[in-house]
Amino acid sequence: MTDTLAPTVSAPSSTASSASGSAGFPTERRVVTSIPGPRSNAIHERRNAVVASGAASGFPIYIERAHGAIVVDVDGNQFIDLGSGIGVTTIGHTDDSVVAAAREQVGQLTHGLFTITPYEGYVRVAELLAEHTPGDFAKKSVLVNSGAEAVENGVKIARKYTGRKAVAVLDHAFHGRTNLTMAMNYKSMPYKLGFGPFAGDIHHAPNSYPYRDGLTGAQAAARTIAFLEKTAGASDLACLVVEPIQGEGGFMVPADGYLPALQKWCTDNGIVFIADEIQAGMARTGRYFSSEHFGLIPDLVLSAKGIAGGLPLAAVTGRAEIMDASHPGGLGGTFGGNPVATAAAVAVFDSIESRGLLAEATRIENTLVPELRRLQSSHDIIGDVRGIGAMIAIEFVQPGTGTTTKEPNAAAVAAISTYAFQHGVILLTAGTMGNVIRFLPSLAVTDAQLLDAISVIEDALATL
Ligand SMILES: *Cc1c(COP(=O)(O)O)cnc(C)c1O
């Protein structure tokens, strides 16, 4: 396979008004320079002088514009984006409906501070969240800026409601980069090392990781619960925070019955059950929220990432009596529920409904999974293929260990991801052991783009 593929449907014009949506936007992968190209390298040099090293970029191509699942860099290279900015542009880069809604809103009101002088868009997003999160009961929301802030507020609300302090999380979890959420993360590098002291009263319990622990859902839940009862004490726990499908951890889909058993234990013990749906929610798995796949009715649901089509917005949504535990003025923030972000979120919800986007997640799974299983059958370093909808992962192991020791193979993942990048595919890694490739394409990705990306991965495997 060559770097330069068939000509694009319509070549990008360097003078095109890059803000004008889908018309004429390329739909194919095309590599025209070395990667990163000279213009990207020039910006990168400036960046190294003024941007903190901690905010490092995994793929240092500088993006000029993007639409659907294609990203165009400043050198004119066209990438198939299978990461979506870590699951943010779920309905596609610069989706026309999001662009139109944000444009209109930006000319009307860019800031009101909802807790001073409110506006309707915030209310509309709360209505949509109440309607689409699992559970048939009165729900309320608070809107904030980022996933970590949603986690912080979820914990804060649960503590106020229960009058308890301790927080339970699962091994391999990722919840953010603020002080509290750092403490809730599993991995030290890169999230915690040297950044302490951390918030206290966080209890890390074993999770369900079917490929590695071989436990049934009931066995894994019994292990989690026994651990928390022993180390934290159920009556001290304000909340248990779980990602129904873990994101950074490597897209582990828990064994059947695991999550419902945890939820039941929480309910029986007065512990607020919080689903961190920041990565798996908002249509990514073919349902509005991934909790639905497991029959979960969380007390609180956390959303962020995909909720506003690329604009910064996050939410805590849940049982009205829990959400109302905070006194007036106890929740909020200057930018939370920004009018432009809420207008974009309304457009995202409308698009999911009116364009039937939930089915696109299932289409993506049906295209990707058979292809990945085909690769697995001929490459014994692919130990596991898993995930739901547009959230699919492959876990790499050392040759010959896939059914025995399952020894992690981070080197293969790094090599494949680098090869894919060089050939015009943005492919994210994941996993606590760095040995997982995750596919988080936007729902706008076409089957042709997916199959083209798979061909690149196949080429990469052949080079190992
Ligand atoms: C990304 C993520 C967060 C943190 O969100 P930010 O917007 O980066 O603060 C929290 N939880 C999960 C599951 C995530 O994937």
Domains 38-81+358-463 and 99-354 alike in fold: no
What dihedral do alpha carbons 393, 398, 403, 404 form, nearest 10°? -130
Fold of 99-354: Aspartate Aminotransferase; domain 2 (3.40.640)
Judged against a pLDDT cut of 50, whether residue 303 lies above it is answered with yes
Q: 450-461, pLDDT tens digit by residue?
A: 999 999 999 999
Query: At 141, is the secondary structure helix, strand, or coil?
Result: strand
Q: Give residue 380 CA to ligand 1 midpoint distance, Å.
A: 32
Cβ of 148 closer than 6 Å to ligand 1, yes or no, is: yes
The rounded distance, in Å, linking the Cα atoms of 329 and 325 is: 12
Q: Give residue 59 CA to ligand 1 midpoint distance, Å.
A: 19
Is the CB of residue 271 less than 8 Å from the CB of residue 239? yes
Spatial neighbors of 411 by CB under 8 A, at least 6 apart, are: none
Atom of ligand 1 nearest to the CA of 176: 4
Q: Which residue(s) pair with 314 in the sheet? A: 144
> What integer pLDDT is reported at residue 7 of this predicted model?
38
Query: How confident is residue 22, by pLDDT bands cut at 50, 70 and 90?
Result: confident
Q: 417-428, pLDDT tens digit by residue?
A: 999 999 999 999
Residue 12, preceding peptide bond in cis (omega within 30° of 0): no
Q: 118-129, pLDDT tens digit by residue?
A: 999 999 999 999
Cβ of 441 closer than 6 Å to ligand 1, yes or no, is: no
Least confident of 9-18, 25-34, 39-48, 251-260: 9-18
Q: Which residue(s) pair with 205 in the sheet? A: 170
Running DSSP on this structure, what letter comes out for residue 292?
G
pTM confidence score: 0.95
Query: How confident is residue 200, by pLDDT bands cut at 50, 70 and 90?
Result: very high
Kind of pairing, strands 272-276 and 300-303?
Answer: parallel
**Which of 175, 182, 302, 335 has most ligand 1 atoms within 8 Å of its beta carbon, as the pocket-test mutant?**
175
Q: Locate tokens 């109302």: which residue?
A: 324
The rounded distance, in Å, linking the Cα atoms of 373 and 48 is: 41
Query: How confident is residue 21, by pLDDT bands cut at 50, 70 and 90?
Result: low
The rounded distance, in Å, linking the Cα atoms of 330 and 328 is: 5
The rounded distance, in Å, linking the Cα atoms of 417 and 425 is: 8
How many C-beta atoms surround the C-beta of residue 219 within 10 A?
16
Task: Give the number of residues written for the chain.
Answer: 464
CA 275 to chain centre: 13
Query: How confident is residue 178, by pLDDT bands cut at 50, 70 and 90?
Result: very high
Q: How much is the average pLDDT of 171-187?
A: 98
Cβ of 304 closer than 6 Å to ligand 1, yes or no, is: yes
Is the CB of residue 186 less than 8 Å from the CB of residue 432? yes
Cβ of 244 closer than 6 Å to ligand 1, yes or no, is: no
Judged against a pLDDT cut of 90, whether residue 150 lies above it is answered with yes
Judged against a pLDDT cut of 70, whether residue 230 lies above it is answered with yes
β-sheet with 436-439: strand ranges across:
382-388, 391-396, 436-439, 428-430
Cα–Cα distance list, 432 to 54, 196, 250, 345 (Å)? 19, 20, 7, 31
Q: How much is the average pLDDT of 242-252?
A: 98
Q: How much is the average pLDDT of 307-330?
A: 98
Domain ranges of the chain: 38-81+358-463, 99-354
% of the chain beyond a pLDDT of 90: 94
Q: 370-419, pLDDT tens digit by residue?
A: 999 999 999 999 999 999 999 999 999 999 999 899 999 999 999 999 99
Cβ of 452 closer than 6 Å to ligand 1, yes or no, is: no
> What integer pLDDT is reported at residue 23 of this predicted model?
77
Rounded to the nearest integer, the mean pLDDT of the chain is 95
Cβ of 412 closer than 6 Å to ligand 1, yes or no, is: no
DSSP per-residue letters across 75-113: TS-EEEESSHHHHT-TT-BT-HHHHHHHHHHHTT-S--T
Q: How much is the average pLDDT of 266-288?
A: 98
Q: 443-452, pLDDT tens digit by residue?
A: 999 999 999 9
Superfamily (CATH) of domain 38-81+358-463 = Aspartate Aminotransferase, domain 1 (3.90.1150.10)
Q: How much is the average pLDDT of 131-151?
A: 98
Cβ of 147 closer than 6 Å to ligand 1, yes or no, is: yes
